[in-house]
């Protein structure tokens, strides 16, 4: 990937019930499964508030933003795309 290419982003979302699969997340948010990082999977970030995170490729950013707007979730501060900075030792 070129140095100036956008990196994947973390997508945090709410889901009541059992932890969803990547396929369920992709279907619900209108993304191809190939836009989600299968090695990262679906990670629970807050089990009390039912928050989960997946990694989304840049190709899915706009589609995801449109879907969040359509679902009325664009104003929820806990839901959406968040930076996924590289963590490296000093």
Instruction: Give the span between the Cα atoms of 90 and 81, in whole angstroms.
Output: 27
Mean pLDDT of the chain: 91
DSSP, residue by residue, 6-63: PPPEEEEEE--SSPPPHHHHHHHHT--GGGB-TTT--EEEETTTTEEEEEE-GGGHHH
The 10 Å Cβ neighbour count of residue 52 is 19
> Is residue 13 over pLDDT 60?
yes
Over residues 38-88, the pLDDT tens digits come to 999 999 999 999 999 999 999 999 999 999 999 999 999 999 999 988 878
Strand partners, 54: 11
């Amino acid at each position: 990937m070129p140095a100036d290419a956008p990196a994947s982003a973390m997508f945090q979302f709410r889901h009541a019930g059992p932890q969803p699969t990547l396929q369920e997340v992709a279907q619900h948010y209108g993304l191809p499964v190939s836009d989600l990082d299968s090695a990262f999977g679906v990670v629970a970030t807050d089990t009390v508030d039912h928050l989960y995170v997946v990694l989304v490729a840049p190709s899915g950013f706009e589609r995801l933003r449109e879907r969040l707007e359509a679902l009325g979730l664009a104003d929820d501060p806990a839901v959406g795309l968040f930076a996924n900075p590289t963590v490296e030792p000093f």
